[in-house]
Every structure is written in structure tokens, then in C-alpha cells.
Chain A
């Protein structure tokens, strides 16, 4: 097993941890953090898988670099939305079935 493949497999583990976290955790900030863990897992799979033959591949590395920056922006946006929700309802979790404004 090459190092690259090991990275990719660790990425799968991170992705799973994050995915379960997004479903199980109620607090919105925890959900956002779990989503970031998921994203990091996906990045690790992309970079690790591409270099499993031993040679680093610049194309997935550039894609991951793009992805990291977009993930930062998405995280900021998600946190902003969570703050707006908190300001309107006072809550930090997603509730079901109630008539919000």
C-alpha cells in the first residue's frame, strides 16, 4: 500500500466522521464544523488518490486549493446564516414543523 492510498483511506474516514456529524449534531455551528471535516476528507481523497502511484499530480492539487478557498467562503456564509437565524428565532438548531417568520 502506498502513502497516497493511505492518505485517501484516511480521507474516507474523515468524510464518514463528518457525514455522521452533519446528521447527528443539532447545534448549527457543530454542523458547519462537521461539514468542514467532510470537505477535508474529500480533499484528502482527491490528493491522496492522485498520488497513489508515488508521483504527485498538480491537477488535483490545484482543484483542492480552489476547493479550500471556496470552503472558507461557504463556511463564513453558513455561519452568517446561522447568526441571522439566531437573531430572528433565538435558536441555534434547525427545528421542524413550526411556522417561523
Chain B
């Protein structure tokens, strides 16, 4: 890429930013007051935290598809395996291994707390799953957990469990008239069930995005 095209790209970028800034400054107030609508229906959502209520109740459909997208990305990565050069093995560092061993129980405790806290304060399945996955990656980098080969039956089940639970709840509630419309009396328990499955599966999927890729190819 020569200097001219580079300069052109920068000029177009600056023009784009200027247009966007002008648009943002001109923007009228939103026609629908969404925080009000969420607060109004929060009591029927089964949870006390508005973001969790939006994620798993009011817009549960988005979250269901999001989990499907994650699985799709993981499946695509799995099909790509085999052609890459192997990643160099990490030297086992005693200090890092000791720290990782000490940190692991705290990581699991933290994930459990985040999962539970999602009902009434910031937290939830995605944060808990991300913490679990970070724990797995930490163990792998410390040389305590080998990279994952082709997933066996148990790991496959773990990877899709969250999605299957979510899908089963969605299918079971189709009789309500709208997709993922929980009966208010059951909403809290159903969300807890979905979040429990998602915490486990998201932890495995996010860890898999790293651990399936770094393995030595046979």
C-alpha cells in the first residue's frame, strides 16, 4: 500500500468520524424510554437485575442465538485444525504452577459467585463462564492442563449442554404463544436453570476457543 492510498484511508476515516460526531450531537432524544419499560416489567421477569432481565427474559431470543453463534465459531475452528504448525510447548515454571494451583479454587468460587449474583446485581452466566475459561487457560499456560484434542463424548455434551437446555426451555414454552415467554411464577427458576447450563458450557466453549487451537497436532 503506497503513501497515497494510506493518506486517502486516513482522510476518509477522519471524514467518517466528523460525520458521526455531527450526527451524535444532532441526535434527538430517544422516542421510547426503554429503562422505564424495563423497570415497569422487572417484577415479572424473575430476576432483580435489569441487565439480566433483558438478557434472559425480555430479549432471551438474542441470547439463545448468541450461544449458537459461539458454538458455530468453535465448530469452524475445530474443522480448521490440523494444518497449522504446532505451538511450542511452554516450559513448566514452578512459581507459575504454584500460583495457578492456588488461584484455581478462587477462580471457581468467583465463577460461582458471579453466576449467582447475576439475579440481583452485575454478573451472570457470561461473566462466570469467562472466568472459568480464564482459569482453564491459566492452567494450560502454566503447563498443568494439556491442550484439548478432538473432543470426546463427555466434552461434546458439556460444550452443547447450555445451548440444549436453553433450546429445551424455549421449545417447552412455545405453548405460551411467544418464544421464550416465561410464566412469571416460574421465570426465576427457569432463568437459573438456563444460566447454570450456560455457565458450564460457555466456560468450556470459551476455553475451547483457546485450548483446541494450541494443541500439538498428531
B74 within 8 A of A: yes
The answer to whether B35 touches A12 (Cβ under 8 A) is no
Binds A, one of B76-84, B105-113, B162-170, B171-179: B76-84
* A-B contacts, 15 listed (Cβ < 8 Å): A12-B24, A15-B20, A16-B14, A56-B35, A58-B34, A59-B58, A61-B51, A62-B54, A66-B62, A72-B206, A73-B74, A76-B73, A76-B77, A83-B84, A86-B84
The answer to whether A59 touches B34 (Cβ under 8 A) is yes
The answer to whether B76 touches A80 (Cβ under 8 A) is yes
> In the complex, how many residues of chain B place their beta carbon closer than 8 angstroms to a beta carbon of chain A?
46
Task: Please give 10 more A-B residue pairs, beta carbons under 8 A apart, in addition to A26-B1, A49-B27, A65-B55.
Answer: A53-B29, A58-B38, A58-B51, A58-B53, A62-B54, A62-B55, A72-B206, A73-B209, A76-B210, A83-B84
Which chain B residues numbered 110 to 141 have a C-beta less than 8 Å away from chain A? 126, 130
Closest to A17 in B: B13
With A57-B35, A80-B77: A24-B1 Cβ-Cβ less than 8 Å:
yes
Closest to A67 in B: B66
B50 within 8 A of A: yes
Q: Please report the C-alpha to C-alpha distance between residue A49 and residue B27 in the assembled complex, in whole angstroms.
A: 9
The answer to whether B62 touches A63 (Cβ under 8 A) is yes
Specify which chain B residues have a CB less than 8 angstroms from the CB of A63 in the assembled complex. Answer: 59, 62
Specify which chain A residues have a CB less than 8 angstroms from the CB of B1 in the assembled complex. Answer: 24, 26
B186 within 8 A of A: no
Q: Please report the C-alpha to C-alpha distance between residue A5 and residue B54 in the assembled complex, in whole angstroms.
A: 23
Which chain B residues numbered 31 to 72 have a C-beta less than 8 Å away from chain A? 34-35, 38, 50-51, 53-55, 58-59, 62-63, 66, 69-70
